[in-house]
């Protein structure tokens, strides 16, 4: 019996790990390599121009960079552009990405994330996980993470995932996983 409980817990934990869905962005993706990471540096519009939902359906209902990266700051809702600057780290395939959110060329908010180059995209260190109740007994956890890339036209591509999973006494499984992508036009 003890083996079954341990096996069940292991399966639930591994099942709750989420991954990015590459199929939703593969048709319009420019691969980033360690030799050309600096191509992500530049100015981009703050509001996206194309949204791709979990079902790989494109929509004109665009989101802002703040919404895509789960930034909770009311002062940045009216920004008009974002400046990204990358810097190589001492570690292999690790980079520091500085983001500056601007309104009329005045900085309203800036922040830095570390990123890891993986499969032609930069996976950001903005992973968050919030749990409520007793996870997988009477509760669950919500996880979030983003990654950056470029489209074929060198516009910014942000992909994020949300995973909300939980259960009641390991019996009634509940939850969902959502992958979204948003494209942002390059200004320069």
Instruction: Give pLDDT, residue 90.
Output: 79
Terminal-residue alpha carbon distance, the chain = 62
pLDDT band at 14 (very low <50, low <70, confident <90, very high): very low
Which tens digits make up the pLDDT trace of 69-125?
888 888 888 899 999 999 988 788 899 999 999 999 999 999 999 999 998 899 999
8 Å CB contact between 54 and 179: yes
Q: State how far the Cα of 10 lies from the Cα of 4, in Å rounded to an integer.
A: 10
Pairing of strands 121-124, 106-118: antiparallel
């Amino acid at each position: 019996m003890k083996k079954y409980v341990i096996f069940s817990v292991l399966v639930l934990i591994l099942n709750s790990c989420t991954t990015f869905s590459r199929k939703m962005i593969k048709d319009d993706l420019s691969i980033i390599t360690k030799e050309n990471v600096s191509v992500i540096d530049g100015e981009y519009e703050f509001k996206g121009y194309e949204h791709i939902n979990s079902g790989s359906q494109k929509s004109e209902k665009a989101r802002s960079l703040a919404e895509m990266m789960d930034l909770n700051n009311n002062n940045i809702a009216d920004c008009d552009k974002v400046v990204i600057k990358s810097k190589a780290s001492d570690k292999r395939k690790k980079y520091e990405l500085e983001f500056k959110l601007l309104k009329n060329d005045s900085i309203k908010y800036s922040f830095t994330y570390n990123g890891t180059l993986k499969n032609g995209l930069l996976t950001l260190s903005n992973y968050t996980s919030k749990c409520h109740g007793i996870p997988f007994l009477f509760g669950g956890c919500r996880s979030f993470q983003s990654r950056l890339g470029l489209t074929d036209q060198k516009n910014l591509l942000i992909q994020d995932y949300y995973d909300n999973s939980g259960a009641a006494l390991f019996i009634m499984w509940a939850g969902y996983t959502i992958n979204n992508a948003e494209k942002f036009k390059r200004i320069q």
